[in-house]
Amino acid sequence: MAPEVGFPQRRMRRLRRTPALRRLVAETRLSVDDLVAPLFVREGIDDPVPISSLPGHFQHTVASAVAEAKRLVDLGVPAVLLFGVPATKDAEGSGAWDPDGVVQRALRTLRDAFGDEVVLAADLCLDEYTDHGHCGVLAADGTVDNDATLERYARVALAQAAAGADVVAPSGMMDGQVAAIRRALDAEGHEQVAVLAYAAKFASGLYGPFRDAVDVRIAGGGDRRGYQQDPANRREALAEVALDVAEGADVVMVKPAVTYLDVLADVRRAVDVPVAAYHVSGEYAMIKAAAANGWIDGAAVALEQLVAVKRAGADFVLTYFAGEVAEALGG
Ligand code: PBG
C-alpha cells in the first residue's frame, strides 16, 4: 500500500521508469557538438610520444596531429585546441610567435587538410616556450611582468591568426590580455579571429599531467599563484569575467571544471556570451587512474562529469575525453 498522504501523491519515479521516458525529460544533454579536443604538437620528433600521465594522449608530430584530427572530425567533434612543445625554450618564449613555430606549422597544415570543417583553436600562452616555465616574461625581481608579457601575447595572437587559427585562447591570466590581443588582431585585419578567454582560471593542483605533456617545470619550484586565481574566491571570478567581456572576449571559460561548478553557474547567469569549461588534465587522469584500478567505471564517470559541467552552465567543454565520448555517443 502507498504511504498515507494528504493529497494525490506525486510519484517522482513515474518519469524515471523507462529509458525513453528518461530521455524525454532530460534537462541537459551532452552532444558531440559540445566537445573540444586538446591536441599537443611537439617539434623535432619523428613519431608520436605517448603521455604517460594522460593515457590515450600523445605529443604529436604535425602529421600524426592531422591523423588524430581526422579521426575526431570523422566522429563529429567540431573543434580542436592546439598546444605546442618547442624543441628549444628561451627566457622570452619566442617560439610562441615564430611563424615557423610548431603550432603555427600545425595550424597551416590542419587548415590545408580540413578547410573550415573543423574549428582550429590555439592556446595562447608562453609557459610551454619559456625556459623558466612561467606564463610571461620575468621582471628583474623574478615576478611575471604583466605589461611586457602583453606585448608578447599580441605577437603570438598575430602569428596564430596568420597561420589560420579561428580562435585564440589566452590562458596566462595577465591583466588586460584580452584587450591587448583584440587590439592587435583588429589592427592587422584579423577581425574575424575570435578570442576564447580563459577568464576564471584557478591556480589548481589539477594541471600536473598537462605540465608533463608540455615539458613544463616552473623554475625554483615556483607556482602560478601570483597570476592565476585563488581557489578560495568565487566573487572574484565574476570580476575577471566582466573584465574579459568588456575587453572583447567572444567566449569566456572557467577552468578547471568539476571543482568549480559553482563558479560556472555564476558565470552562466552573469553573461550572455558563450561559456566554456575546461575539464583539465588532472580531472581526466584521476578518472583514468581509478578506472585502471577497477575502482570506478571510467566511461560512466566521464559522462557523468561532462553532463554535470553542462548542467552547471557550460555551452561546451574542452576535454581529453572528447574522442572517447564522441565514440560513445555514436559519433
Ligand atoms: C597554460 C595552460 C595550462 C593549461 C592550459 N593552458 C597550464 C597551467 O596553467 O599551468 C592546463 C590544462 C590542463 O591541465 O589540462 N598554457
pLDDT for 2: 59
Closest residue (by CA) to atom 5 of ligand 1? Answer: 171
Identify the residue whose C-alpha is closest to ligand 1 atom 6: 171
Distance 206 CA to ligand 1 centre (A): 9
Instruction: Find the mean pLDDT for residues 303-331.
Output: 96
Residue keyed to cell 612543445: 85
Q: Give nearest CA residue, ligand 1 atom 7.
A: 207
CA of 301 to the centre of ligand 1 (A): 22
pLDDT of 204 higher than 90: yes
Bridge partners of 119, per DSSP, are: 79
In a domain, 120, yes or no: yes
pLDDT digit string, tens, across residues 217-253:
999 889 999 999 999 999 999 999 999 999 999 999 9
How far apart are alpha carbons 119 and 170 in whole angstroms?
16
Interatomic CA distance for residues 277 and 309, integer angstroms: 7
- The rounded mean pLDDT for the chain is 96
Query: How many domains, in total, are found in the chain?
Result: 1
Does residue 3 carry a pLDDT above 90?
no
pLDDT over 60 at 331, yes or no: no
Residue 330 has pLDDT above 90, yes or no: no
Look up residue 123 and give its DSSP letter. Answer: E
Within a domain: residue 19? no
Distance of CA 235 to the CA centre of its chain: 22
Residue 255 lies in a domain: yes
Instruction: Select from 57, 127, 210, 309 the residue to mutate for testing ligand 1; criterion: most ligand atoms less than 8 Å from CB.
Output: 210
Grid cell, residue 182, equals 583584440
Residue 244 domain flag:
yes
State mean pLDDT over 291-298: 98
In the block, cell 592565476 appears at: 228
- Give pLDDT, residue 220: 86
Residue 208 falls within a domain, yes or no?
Answer: yes
Residue closest via CA to ligand 1's atom 14 equals 207
Respond yes or no: is residue 70 known to be catalytic: no
Report which protein residue has its CA nearest ligand 1's atom 1: 171
pLDDT digits 0-9 by tens, 4-29: 666 788 899 999 999 999 999 999 99
Give me the pLDDT at residue 4, please.
63
- Residue 292's domain comprises 29-328
Its pTM stands at 0.96
Average pLDDT of span 118-136: 97
Instruction: Collect all residues with Cβ–Cβ distance below 8 Å to 214 and sequence separation of at least 6.
Output: 40, 83, 84, 85, 127, 128
Active-site residue identified among 70, 89, 201, 288: 201
Q: Give the Å distances, CA to CA, from 12 to 9, 120, 167, 194, 311.
A: 9, 44, 44, 44, 20
What phi and psi, each to the nearest 5 degrees, are found at residue 192?
A: -85, -10
Residue 8: phi and psi, rounded to 5, are -55, 125
pLDDT greater than 90 at residue 39 = yes
**CA 184, 242, 248 angle in degrees (round to 5)?**
25
Question: Whose CA is closest to atom 8 on ligand 1?
Answer: 207
Taking each helix axis from N to C end, the angle separating 261-270 and 235-247, rounded to the nearest 10 degrees, works out to: 40
Q: Choose among 88, 99, 102, 92: nearest CA to 59.
A: 102
CA end-to-end distance (rounded Å), the chain: 46
Closest approach atom of ligand 1 to CA 206: 14
Atom of ligand 1 nearest to the CA of 280: 15
CA of 106 from ligand 1 middle (Å) equals: 19
**174: CA distance to ligand 1 center in Å?**
14
In whole angstroms, what is the distance from residue 219 CA to residue 256 CA? Answer: 23
Would you list the DSSP string of 235-276?
HHHHHHHHHHHHHT-SEEEEESSGGGHHHHHHHHHH-SS-EE
Q: Are 238 and 267 in contact (CB under 8 A)?
A: yes
Ligand 1 binding pocket (C-beta < 6 A) is 123, 125, 127, 135, 171, 207, 210, 224, 280-281
Region 205-228: what's the mean pLDDT?
93
Q: Which atom of ligand 1 is nearest to the CA of 318?
A: 15
* β-strand partners of 169: 123
d(CA 78, CA 329) in angstroms, rounded, equals 14
Task: Please tell me the predicted confidence (pLDDT) of residue 10.
Answer: 86
Q: Would you say residue 20 lies in a domain? A: no
Does 47 map to a domain? Answer: yes
Question: Closest ligand 1 atom to the C-alpha of 172?
Answer: 1
Average of pLDDT values for 110-137?
A: 97
Of the residues 70, 89, 255, 288, only one is catalytic, namely: 255
CA distance 89 to 125: 13
CATH classification of the domain holding 85? 3.20.20.70
Residue 10 lies in a domain: no
